Amino acid sequence: MVPGAFVRVKFPTGEKPRQPGLRHRAPRGTAIEVMLAYTTSQPWPATVPLSAGARRFDREEAARLNQSRAFMLRLDGLAKLPVTEAWFPDLALPGQGVIAVAPAGLREEPTDLAMNLVRRRRRLIQMRGV
């Protein structure tokens, strides 16, 4: 796995923030522990402005990342997780559950958005994981 990878992971829920949750796709970094952002394919209401830390990927952008539909990257929901099969169920498989790797320019945008969110609105970030 490499920085900017979108990978299948059992992202922790708000109800059980330290336990593996339902399987999701999330971008991740490298190391023994990784920082992940939450993604969801639930549509954002058109009349509601995007929340701080949210990045919408339309169908075309999503398709370039091997996603079948538009999705949201939510940098206001982060998790620091160990790289283990409990969290990454496809870790032992070829490809390790990596769905796609974002190009360099796309990796920088969420990083900048997350850093601004941390500096300005740290209280809005929900941290989960170990």
Digit-coded pLDDT (tens) for 86-110: 888 898 899 888 889 888 888 888 7
CA-atom Rg of the chain in angstroms? 14
- For residue 71, the 8-state DSSP code is E
Cα separation, 29 vs 58, whole angstroms: 23
- The per-residue pLDDT for 30 is 44
Whether residue 63 is predicted with pLDDT greater than 90 in this model: the reply is yes
The C-alpha angle with vertex 123 and arms to 121 and 125, in degrees rounded to 5, equals: 85
Range of 3-7, 17-21, 74-78, 95-99 with top mean pLDDT: 95-99
Tell me the C-alpha distance between 52 and 124, whole Å: 8
DSSP letter, residue 89: T
Which residue type occupies 85? E
* Cβ neighbours of 123 (radius 10 Å): 6
The number of domains in the chain is 1
Residue 130: per-residue pLDDT: 64
pLDDT at 31: 46
Domain holding 70, by residue range, is 5-129
- CATH for 57: 2.30.30.110
Give the per-residue pLDDT at 76.
Answer: 81
Residue 59 is predicted with a pLDDT of: 92
